Amino acid sequence: MSAQTLSVGPRTSPVASPSGLLRTMTRRHRPLFLAAGLVLLAVLGWAAADRSALFRASRAAHACIRAGGNCDAAFAQLANAETALQYFQFALMALPLLMGAFIGAPLIAQELERGTHRLMLTQSLSRARWLTAQLAVPAAVVLVTAVGCSLAASWVRSAARGATAQNYWGRWETPVYSTFGIVPVAFALLALAVGILVGLLVRRTLPAMGLTLLLCAGLDALFLWVRPHLLPVRTWVGHGGYQLKGEVWMLSDGVVRADGSWLPYHQCPTPSGCRTGTVFEQYHSQDQFWPMQGVESALLLICAVAAVAVTCAVVRRRAF
């Protein structure tokens, strides 16, 4: 009877394989998928309801004007509809902060707080792969959600510009700029990265969530302060003033005095002291909007990558 030689190779844990790891993380994040879907549905439903109310109020106001009656009630209804749209934008401004606090901060903090990370790390899984798996799915969810919310904000803005006064809905207005285009998407990813890093360092879920909110609010304020300086400021000097074309972001304006110095309007001692005939205006023009969005988004993403790099370094060196 001949002896048979059995060759037994190394056995790979199902969790450690790429497909198994992806399935595991997808199952674990099913509540996140559900929450993100509900958020997108709520945002789109809110936007649709506000657009509908705005169009109804606008039609009622125009009909009242044509009829020549007392239109105070119609104008009040239109103002209320526009205010509702503004509340919608303020909610979208807060959404990246909430993503960082409720998705990023608990992601690793809960693992460390409960000790469940040890189970994953015993499945022939390196720390680098464990961290990559932790980051990939939430980052994709946040990206899709942020893009959907940005498109909803653009949809709302187009309706408001067609039905109301356009001053508040110009692209340079903070509630519009911060919720429209690519900046809110980049900021959402930064908030997620900051939340993950804070959760890793604090190791407790609730304190990490609170600290993430504070840090993301501070970063939002910092970029709001830096924003006017991201691109060169343009200057116009001449007579008359307020003749610039397109949507401009007026940063400073005033008069040019006889000695050549510039005096902003708010520093004029008296109204007659600012009647020199020559004025100056410093501004960002309409064609600078998308380049500025690109520069700010790049800075936000660089900060996000830096936060992820610090997270990776901490995971490699810290004993769990």
152 close to 185: Cβ distance less than 8 angstroms = no
Average pLDDT for residues 204-227, to the nearest whole number?
94
Q: What is the mean pLDDT of the chain?
A: 83
> In degrees, to the nearest 5, what angle opens at C-alpha 251 toward C-alphas 248 and 255?
105
Residue 292 has pLDDT above 60, yes or no: yes
pTM, two decimals, is: 0.85
Contacts of 207 (CB under 8 A, 6+ apart): none
Q: Each residue of 77-135: pLDDT tens digit? A: 888 888 888 899 999 999 999 999 999 999 888 888 776 655 555 555 667 777 787 78
> In degrees, to the nearest 5, what angle opens at C-alpha 66 toward C-alphas 63 and 67?
85
pLDDT band at 61 (very low <50, low <70, confident <90, very high): confident
Question: Which segments of 164-256 does DSSP mark as H helices, in order?
Answer: 174-177, 183-202, 205-226
Please give the pLDDT value at position 132. Answer: 80
Most confident by average pLDDT, 156-165, 225-234, 238-247: 225-234
Cα–Cα distance measured from residue 201 to residue 203, given in angstroms and rounded to the nearest whole number: 6
